[in-house]
Structure 1
Amino acid sequence: MKIILTRVFVDDQERALNFYTETLGFVKKSDISAEGYRWLTVVSPDDPNGTELLLELNDNPVVRAYQKGIFEQELPAASFGVEDTHAEYERLKAQGVKFTMEPTEVVDRVIIAVFDDTCGNLIQIQTLEK
């Protein structure tokens, strides 16, 4: 068994697609519309056949409440692995990404940082420093 799909709820799919591809560097994998629903996924360019991230519209009141609640509690909706948290922090910050947590060692050599994805979520990046 393996994880093939995970999701983040977003308040605007087009803005999310732009942020996740143009700013973060993911690649669009699927973009299918049917009966008012849009199935929109991105993948890592390093693993185009790997786990897909569904950018799912938060058009359900329960989903909106959940998304708002975890954002207000400063809980990341997703966590992405990076080669170097400090370098990725600097790269994204230079592009105007707003961080709620600068790179911080949280456990023995695990460095995390947290940013706002502009679509209603906090996203964590992390690396295990050597």
Structure 2
Amino acid sequence: MKIIAMSIFVNSQDKAQQVYTEKLGFKLKHNIEIGGDFRWLTVTEENSNNPVEIVLEPNESPIAKNYQDGLYAAGIPVTMFGVDNLEKEYEILLNKGIEFYTKPKEVEGVKYAIFDDTCGNLIQIVEQ
């Protein structure tokens, strides 16, 4: 088995597309109308051979909304992204208007920070 996709529930697919491509630097992979106001919206790593897609799914289901709200309220990131240089990435994201929930820290040799994706999620970036 291999990972082909992971889902992140978002409160606005339009906003998520803008944030994940323009601010976080992911590349749009799929943007397909699937009925109503919903799309099959995925992004992948820019300049990478990693085929894993992030599905930016609408949180229209009450279960998805409760899950997303519960994680956010508890301060738990929905996922983590790896970075080569945490301090550099932190500055780049700050300059793009990303607001951080947790400034860069180091715990047992792992550097991390947590930011708000403005789509209902906290995301952790990690330098190992």
Cα distance per residue 1:93-122 (max 9 Å; x no partner): 111111011111122x21010000000000
Q: Which residue pairs with 1:31 in the alignment?
A: 31
Q: Which residue pairs with 1:69 in the alignment?
A: 70
Structure 2 unaligned regions, length at least 5: none
Secondary structure of the 1:83 match is coil
Instruction: Give me the whole-angstrom Cα distance separating, in 1, the residues matched to 2:105 and 2:35.
Output: 44
Instruction: Give me the whole-angstrom Cα distance separating, in 2, the residues matched to 1:32 and 1:103.
Output: 36
Amino acid in the other structure paired with 1:60: S
Instruction: Give me the whole-angstrom Cα distance separating, in 1, the residues matched to 2:5 and 2:119.
Output: 19
Q: Which residue pairs with 1:21 in the alignment?
A: 21
Q: Which residue pairs with 1:3 in the alignment?
A: 3
> What is the TM-score when the length of structure 2 is the normalising length?
0.95
Q: Alignment identity in percent? A: 45
Q: Is residue 2:25 matched to residue 1:47?
A: no
Cα distance per residue 1:21-65 (max 9 Å; x no partner): 000000000111122231100000132551100000000111101
Instruction: Give me the whole-angstrom Cα distance separating, in 1, the residues matched to 2:48 and 2:105.
Output: 27
Amino acid in the other structure paired with 1:75: I
Q: Which residue pairs with 1:110 in the alignment?
A: 110
> What is the TM-score when the length of structure 1 is the normalising length?
0.93
Instruction: Give me the whole-angstrom Cα distance separating, in 1, the residues matched to 2:7 and 2:26.
Output: 14
Q: Which residue pairs with 1:99 in the alignment?
A: 100
State the aligned residue count.
127
